[in-house]
Amino acid sequence: MKDIKNRFLEYVAFDTQSDESTGTHPSTEKQFKLAAFIKEELLALGINDVTLTDQCYVYAKLPASPGCENVPGLGFIAHLDTSGAASGADIKPQIIEKWSGAPIRLGETDLQVKPSPTLIGHTIITTDGTTLLGADDKAGIAIIITAVEKILEENISHGPISIAFTPDEEIGEGADFFDVDFFGADYAYTVDGGSPNMIEGENFNASSAMVTFKGVSTHPGSAKNFMINAQKLAMEFDSMLPPYETPEHTTGREGFYHLCSSNGDVSYAQLNYILRDHDARLLKKKEENLLRIARYLNEKYGAERVSVQIKDSYRNMAEVIEKYPFLMKLAKDAITAAGMDYSQNPIRGGTDGARLSFMGLPCPNLGYGGYCAHGETEYVDVDGMKAVVQVLLNIIHSFISNPLPFNDRKNGAV
């Protein structure tokens, strides 16, 4: 059986960053390289039903063990792509066996990480400080495939199991071409979180906003009472947003406005925001606030100088998951049985599972043992990854040992 650490290191050697600017599906062709590698790995494990689609989705299915054919179908999902927030190319992992508790310097950079003291003695993998690591979500992929390999090698009894690896999750498009019917599961879990004892059934409601500004340009020597600088309009717009409702000042269930990018000149400028809130009503108020500020500036400067385009991204999966409380209970019990105290917190972000839940596939999220995603200080706890493998096996066992009939499960009974 392949060591999960080595499996993970194989995956992070692939550069799989997604890119929302391309407009293609998948957004980057390089995601296919890891997808093809995983397809061949699954076939080599003895799984016959493996599909790689034109949109870069990998699906695989394990038929139920004899006598378990009537067990509800269970799925596990992780994503292939990595964030564009830091480079994902030429990753040079640092492996720290039996971490002592001392700060870990990242390569030759001035960056360092110091994991929680609870991880002393564990094997930690970091970056060299020049790239992200890719534990988000290649740790999830390694966990799922290691669990599947263990099932096959040890002939562990199980109901129907479906697994899938999606592209473009980091740009919010991971569920765009996900075929729920083809996937074949009744319920699923994404493995795309943080600490290995994490179970999440709630995430942000999310939207994005593109705000454009039209200025009037002229020679600065004769600009008095005539020039309208689009860049200054953009700065004024942003200054009117609540200063403490930003990611760097919020936590827990507090929502935010996040200015992701800006560009422009005197004639034209653009600000791109993401808006987040666990309460859908509060997210709506944030959207209305952007429109209100735009109206004010248009009245102040005349004409349609400012325009706002708002696009829905995803909704809070709690609307769906609360109808299937047994999914959270089974995960909590599985984490406890793996020797950990479970932690349940709202996701300050989103996963494929959020959208899939509204597509008819209830899908809470599990942790993968990774920390500080989307940056050069990302690291992963290998012992935590191994613990999540056991969590998955415990959930699989619960599906065949739980006495609830299928119809009761579908109705969300516990």
Name the residue with tokens 């990480």: 113
On average, the pLDDT of the chain sits at 94
Nearest to 382 by CA among 3, 83, 88: 3
- The active-site residue out of 15, 128, 137, 169 is 169
66: left (phi over 0), alpha (psi -120 to 50) or beta: beta
CA-based end-to-end distance of the chain: 36
Indicate where the chain has its CATH 3.40.630.10 domain(s).
4-203+316-410
DSSP class of residue 228 equals: B
In tens, the pLDDT along 62-75 reads 999 999 999 999 99
The residue-averaged pLDDT of 82-111 equals 97
Look up 265 and say whether it is catalytic: no
Distance CA 305, CA 307 (A): 7
Nearest to 317 by CA among 327, 307, 308, 309: 327
Indicate where the chain has its CATH 3.30.70.360 domain(s).
208-314
In tens, the pLDDT along 228-272 reads 999 999 999 999 999 999 999 999 999 999 999 999 999 999 999
Name the residue with tokens 């019917």: 181
Q: Are 209 and 293 in contact (CB under 8 A)?
A: no
184: left (phi over 0), alpha (psi -120 to 50) or beta: left
Q: Please, which residues have CB within 8 angstroms of residue 374's CB and are 6 or more apart in sequence?
A: 83, 85, 86, 132, 136
Q: Is the pLDDT of residue 408 over 80?
A: no
Nearest to 301 by CA among 234, 242, 363, 245: 234
**What is the pLDDT confidence band of residue 404, given thresholds at 50, 70 and 90?**
low
Neighbouring CB atoms inside 10 A of 400's CB total 18
Neighbouring CB atoms inside 10 A of 170's CB total 25
What strand order describes the sheet that includes 94-96? 94-96, 124-126, 379-381, 370-371
Q: Are 352 and 170 in contact (CB under 8 A)?
A: no
CATH number of 208-314: 3.30.70.360
Look up 81 and say whether it is catalytic: yes
Q: What pLDDT was estimated at residue 1? A: 86
Q: Are 294 and 282 in contact (CB under 8 A)?
A: no
Distance CA 189, CA 56 (A): 20
In tens, the pLDDT along 38-59 reads 999 999 999 999 999 999 999 9
In tens, the pLDDT along 373-387 reads 999 999 999 999 999
For residue 366, give Cα distances in angstroms to 187, 211, 252, 381.
Answer: 14, 35, 18, 15
Is the N-terminal amide bond of 26 cis, ω within 30° of 0? Answer: yes
DSSP class of residue 94 equals: E
Q: Are 156 and 150 in contact (CB under 8 A)?
A: yes
23-37, 77-91, 348-362: the lowest-pLDDT one = 348-362
**What is the pLDDT confidence band of residue 407, given thresholds at 50, 70 and 90?**
very low
The two structure tokens encoding residue 60:
């695989």
The two structure tokens encoding residue 299:
């009245």
Distance CA 203, CA 319 (A): 10
- The active-site residue out of 15, 41, 81, 352 is 81
pLDDT over 90 for what percent of the chain?
91
> How would you class 401 by CB atoms within 10 Å of its CB: exposed for 0-12, middle for 13-18, buried for 19 or more?
exposed
Q: Is the pLDDT of residue 347 over 80?
A: yes
Distance CA 137, CA 31 (A): 13
Q: What share of the chain is helix, strand, coil (3-state, %, to 5)?
A: 35, 20, 45
Q: Is the pLDDT of residue 320 over 50?
A: yes
The residue-averaged pLDDT of 335-353 equals 91
Task: Please state which CATH class domain 4-203+316-410 belongs to.
Answer: alpha beta
Record the pTM.
Answer: 0.89
